[in-house]
Amino acid sequence: MKLVVLTGAGISAESGLKTFRDSDGLWEGYNFYDVATPEAWDRNPELVQNFYNERRRQVLAAQPNLAHKLLAELESNFHVEIITQNIDDLHERAGSTKVTHLHGVITKSQSCKNASLTYLIDGSEIEMGQLCELGSQLRPHVVWFGESVPMIEYAAQLCQNADVFAIIGTSLAVYPASGLIDFVPKSIQKYIIDPKTPDVKRYNNIFNIEDTAVNGVEKLKNILLNAN
């Protein structure tokens, strides 16, 4: 059985990583237009680089929580494909082997000239003046607002082939990730884990688990194992 899971910031919140935007609309005190757009990079690359260097340090200091670990454990019983909107690597560190990052992963850098040229970062920082093989400045391997999402078509194919689908810790507010549920077969069971269930009234076979990611994934695991 193929279990496809879409995760968002809520699954990493219990590892101490803040969700993308706080209630005031800011991300770590910054307007996202100033740190998460190509225009911000063109305007002030040093500010953007420093911002993501700090986010990377936070990610490296964080540890996978039980929700990440339980999803990894489900690979013993199911074919598990994780699609994540998160730029952290906590799913991989928890042991998940099939993880698709829609928005990049902060532990890598990429070329400014060719986004497909990516590199593992040695340490926690990308320095200004650090160049790719084409001679352009390295930047965070993060999909910014206004940029294409190169993995979205592959993620949509995974959703089309799901036998069970789960959404964990996302409000389904960020496009195009929010549209992935539209590719999931109407007939299959869909689980949504979040303290506040997003608006999914138009979809069939929805089972809501209004809880934190850790508690919710524990419940989901028990449901799936008992049904298997």
Q: Which parts of the chain are beta strand (E)?
A: 2-7, 79-84, 99-101, 104-111, 118-120, 138-142, 164-168, 189-193, 206-209
Can you tell me whether residue 13 is helix, strand or coil? helix
Q: How far apart are CA 55 and CA 50, in angstroms?
A: 9
Any catalytic annotation for residue 68? Answer: no
Q: How many Cβ atoms from other residues are within 10 Å of residue 123's Cβ?
A: 10
Q: Give, in order, the Cα–Cα distances in Å from 205 to each of 190, 202, 213.
A: 6, 10, 20
Residue 8 amino acid letter: G
Q: Give, in order, the Cα–Cα distances in Å from 195 to each of 11, 85, 168, 169.
A: 11, 18, 10, 8
Q: Which residues pair with 111 in a beta bridge?
A: 138
Active-site residue, from 68, 91, 101, 103: 103
Q: How many Cβ atoms from other residues are within 10 Å of residue 169's Cβ?
A: 26
Active site residues per annotation: 103
